[in-house]
Homo-oligomer: A and B are copies of this chain.
Amino acid sequence: MANIAFFGLGNMGAPMAINLIQAGHSVKVFDLFPEAIDKVVKAGGSTCSDPKEVARGADIVVSMLPAGLHVKALYIEDTAIIDVLSPECLVIDSSTIDAESAQYTAKCLAEKGIDFIDAPVSGGVAGATAGTLSFMVGGSDSAFDKAKPILEVMGKNIFHAGDVGAGQIAKVCNNMLLSVLMVGTSEALQLGIANGLEPAKLSEIMSKSSGSNWTLDVYNPCPDVMTGVPSSNNYEGGFMTNLMVKDLGLALDTAVKSNASTPMGALTRNLYSLHQKAGNGTKDFSSIFTAFSQKNR
């Protein structure tokens, strides 16, 4: 069993840390919000008021933070736990951030001999709690191999996308594509509805045809076509519009920096940003379906 330091105990981080505890690891945790810490300590974790003391002696550090600047601050700049990490330590950053921040952090850590992988996740709070997340990993083969048993405690599908930063790129590509699937599926269903088709019937037909895709098949955005999805629960739960806007911002930044052309991803970023401005930021991202509804006319 490993000594694990865990930073960032939000909606995703807390259940991930608890899964590590329940697998028998010794887990020290830190967060800026004391209440967040309490919950994990109750589940068997330990803590300390000084983040450097949380990190000291760790075999593995896991972080789950909001943005690149927080990751750089934790490891290298402000908090600088790099000062107390041993060269044998492995750093697993599961935050969804820009690839450049991941690469910068990895490079600084490598100068002290510390391994780093970027390992952003998909699967949401439900997946974090159930331990069924998908991890998209960037890093060396040896770091990946070392991380794998730890990641398997928290997730089900562990993908090795390439070198450091590749995990972030893979996630950005996947989520940009996901947004395209969702908006395209919403449009197609609404076009059918506007012309008299039953959405459940049309969904079935397209799912068995070349229109088949994840959002249509298992996350249908039209209310009451499926059970157990946000669209059948007033678009509550799931993956918030606000988070999709954030991920699509990362996708566009990545596209601009690499001179890639992403007309569809750029359009979904703007449709979601307009959807957010219309007051739907905290609803599940499948609620874009309602923007196409004839009802309001």
Q: Which residues of A contact B (CB under 8 A)?
A: 99, 122, 134, 136, 157, 159-163, 165-166, 169-170, 172-178, 180-181, 183-185, 187-192, 194-198, 201-202, 204-206, 208-216, 219, 245, 249, 251-256, 258-271, 273-274, 276-279, 281, 291-294, 296-297
- Can you report 30 A-B residue pairs in the complex whose CB atoms are below 8 A from each other? A157-B208, A161-B202, A169-B192, A170-B192, A170-B197, A170-B202, A172-B191, A173-B188, A176-B188, A177-B187, A177-B213, A180-B264, A181-B210, A184-B184, A187-B263, A187-B265, A188-B265, A190-B260, A191-B258, A194-B259, A195-B258, A209-B214, A245-B259, A249-B256, A260-B294, A261-B274, A266-B270, A274-B274, A277-B291, A279-B297
- Contact assessment for A267 and B265 in the assembled complex, using a CB-CB cutoff below 8 Å: no
Q: What 6 pairs between A and B have smallest CB-CB spacing?
A: A180-B184, A213-B213, A266-B266, A263-B270, A177-B211, A177-B188
Please report whether the interface of chain A is mostly helix, strand, loop or mixed according to DSSP.
helix
Bound: A194/B270 CA distance, A: 15
A181 touching B213 by the CB < 8 A rule?
A: yes
Question: How many copies of this chain does the complex contain?
Answer: 4
Considering the chains assembled together, what is the distance between the CA atoms of A270 and B251 in angstroms?
13
Q: Which residues of B contact A157 (CB under 8 A)?
A: 208-209
User: Of A162, A175, A209, A252, which is in contact with the most chain B CB atoms at under 10 Å from its CB?
Assistant: A209
